[in-house]
Amino acid sequence: MYPNPLIYCTCWDPWNLGPRKLIKTPHPLPKASIRKPIFPAPISREPNYLLSQPAKSTAFPRDKAQSRKLEESNKAPSEVIEVSPGYKLVRNREQISVTLGDEMFSRKKHLESGILSKVKISRSDIISDLEEQISELSAIIEQMNRDHQSAQKLLSNEMDLRCADMKQKFETESRELKQTHKEQLEKLENSYKETLKVEKAAAQEKLDEMGKEYKYLKNMFHMYQDSIYDEMEDKWSRRKAEWEKDEKMEREKILLQQKHRITKKFELESEEEKRKMNESFSTVMENFTREKEELIRQHNEDILQMQELRKAKEVSIPIRLCESSIFKAIHPWGNEMNFTQTSKI
């Protein structure tokens, strides 16, 4: 049996042991193959059968994937070992196959015991190898976990130290910046106070000079204001007289125009009212004549209806007398009110 190499990575090998090789365990031989082996064609009858055909394996594939693996393993380079007459062992990197001949079945019991012993030996070797590899892998994993934990602790400690250093550095820098900022503010305040005092004194002097000039200009302005006021009064009086004259003429002109417009409008409205009154009078007369004719026609119909009712009444009086006499004869003790109600109905 050939081992299959594992994927190797340097981060999984802290001791620099290099890539390890694990043995791939083959599928165990089924019991049916030992108890009831499948007999191939006899070699004596077909001597070139093994040279032309591939060896038949006692390990049957369970599905299509295993069959494809068997085909690939048959194509791969394999090693042929003749264990005993009639028993050939063919193995490669993927599987192991056994070919049985006629010589094998002549000594069936002996060969079966030999196969079982070899299978047991191979199984025990494989199990011991696997246990050794598992123990090595578990030790490697434990060491990796310990190394990872120690590296994590070192990194966390280093990070804490760096954080503390950076925090202390930040505090010192912020303290220095605050101190420098405070000193600069004090210097600026002092300089601003001095400049403010100087500017305030200059502004006070300028303000005194401007106050004197303001008083002088105020007196001059009052004098000029009085003269201007007199001139403006004369001008306004003249303009007022002119405006009153113009306004009077304009008012008279406007009133005359309004008078003409109102008289014209009144004439038009009076003519329109006359026309509307004539139209309404004509419509009223037409309605009156129509209603009069309708009332006359209705009066004639009512007269005819009254005449018909009188005729019907004259005919119905003897009939009612007969009915009352018949009713009294049938119901001598009856009430006259019932008869009147029935006659009305």
Helix (H, G, I), strand (E, B) or coil at 21: strand
CA distance linking residue 93 with residue 231, whole number of Å:
132
Per the CB < 8 A criterion, the answer to whether 80 and 90 are in contact is: yes
CA distance 328 to 339: 9
Cα 208 → chain centroid: 73
In this predicted structure, what is the pLDDT of residue 165? 92
Residue 53 has pLDDT above 90, yes or no: no
- Place 330 in a pLDDT band, splitting at 50, 70 and 90: low
Give the chain's mean pLDDT.
Answer: 73
In the structure, what pLDDT confidence band is assigned to residue 120 with cuts at 50, 70 and 90? Answer: low
On whether the CB atoms of residues 79 and 37 are closer than 8 A, the answer is no
In angstroms, the CA 221 to CA 208 distance is: 20
Six-digit token string for 4: 């299959």
Q: What would the mean pLDDT of 91-103 be, rounded to a whole number?
A: 72
Give the helix/strand (H/E) hosting 208: helix 108-330
Which of 65-79, 198-212, 242-256, 302-316 shows the lowest per-residue confidence on average (mean pLDDT)? Answer: 65-79
How much of the chain exceeds pLDDT 70, in percent? Answer: 61
Distance CA 14, CA 57 (A): 43
- The answer to whether 93 and 76 have CB atoms below 8 angstroms apart is yes
Give the pair of three-digit tokens for residue 340: 């009147």
CA atoms of 235 and 255, how far apart (whole Å): 30
Give residue 321's pLDDT.
62
* pLDDT of 89 strictly over 60: yes
91 CB-near residues (< 8 Å, 6+ apart) = 1, 2, 78, 79, 81, 97
Q: What is the pLDDT of residue 227?
A: 86
CA-nearest of 87, 115, 88, 128 to 30 is 115
Angle between helical axes of 336-344 and 108-330 (0-180°, round to 10): 120
Q: pLDDT digit string (tens) for 203-255?
A: 999 999 998 899 898 888 888 888 888 888 888 888 888 988 898 899 899 99
Q: For residue 199, what pLDDT is reported?
A: 92
What per-residue confidence (pLDDT) applies to 59? Answer: 42
pLDDT at 318: 60
Region 190-211 average pLDDT: 91
* Mean pLDDT of all residues in 35-57: 41
Q: Is the pLDDT of residue 134 over 80?
A: yes
Residue 170 has pLDDT above 90, yes or no: yes
pLDDT of 9 strictly over 60: no
CB 14, CB 150: distance < 8 Å: no
Model pLDDT, residue 116: 61
Q: How many residues does the chain have?
A: 345
Q: What is the pLDDT of residue 185?
A: 92
- Classify residue 95 by burial, with Cβ atoms within 10 Å: 0-12, 13-18, 19+: buried
Query: Of residues 340 and 145, which shows the higher confidence score?
Result: 145
Report field, pTM of the whole predicted structure over 0.75: no
What SS3 class is residue 5?
strand
Q: How far is it, in rounded angstroms, from Cα 25 to Cα 3?
A: 9
Give pLDDT, residue 98: 74
Residue 85 scores a pLDDT above 90 = no
Q: CA-CA-CA-CA torsion for 299, 304, 305, 310, nearest 10 degrees?
A: 130
Higher pLDDT, 117 or 5: 117
User: Burial code of 96-112, b = ≥16 C-beta within 10 A, e = fewer?
Assistant: bbbbbbeebeeeeeebe
The distance between the two most distant Cα atoms of the chain, rounded to a whole number of Å, is: 163
Q: Which pLDDT value is given to residue 128?
A: 84
Question: What's the whole-number mean pLDDT along residues 166-176?
Answer: 92
Higher pLDDT among residues 141 and 33, named by residue:
141
Q: Based on the number of CB atoms within 10 Å of its own CB, is 115 exposed (0-12), middle (13-18) or buried (19 or more)?
A: buried
